[in-house]
Amino acid sequence: MSAQPSSAAPATPANRARGWMFLALAIGSEVTGSLSLRGAIDRPWLYVVVAAGFIAALVFLTQVLQLGISIGVAYGVWGACGVALTAIMSMILFNEPITWLMALGIGVIIAGVLCIEMGPHSSVSAEESVA
């Protein structure tokens, strides 16, 4: 099995910024799809919003990867932020409870995302890097 060459764009600051913008769109689309599931129980037409949200999220996530953000970072941030935002929005929209433990978990997710974002900017040399 041979490795296929990557079709990712060069890692320029502009591409990186565009990648994070598309990642935010992917997260927003996924959260919209997830939150729409609750309403679709009583209003089946909302399944269209669910499907559109999830499809858009995957399309945007593909753009993120094409702009040079690694799959580990993109998928990790997408998944973590999606969980945190879905929990927060379900509290606001549906009055679902958030316990102190859940709030702590959301804080840990935010800290993890910051660590992932700062990772490429750390002073660790290439020899000390995990990858």
The total number of structural domains in the chain stands at 1
**How many residues does the structure list for the chain?**
131
33 found inside a domain: yes
**Has residue 4 been placed in a domain?**
no
131 lies in some domain: no
Q: What is the pLDDT along the chain (131 residues), one digit of tens a residue?
A: 444 445 677 778 888 899 999 999 999 999 999 999 999 999 999 999 999 999 999 999 999 999 988 888 898 889 989 999 999 999 999 999 999 999 998 899 888 887 877 776 555 444 455 55
Which one, of 41, 55, 45, 109, lies nearest residue 78 by Cα?
Answer: 109
Distance CA 2, CA 108 (A): 38
Identify whether 62 is part of a domain. Answer: yes
CB neighbourhood size of 39 (10 A): 16
Domain that holds residue 102: 13-119
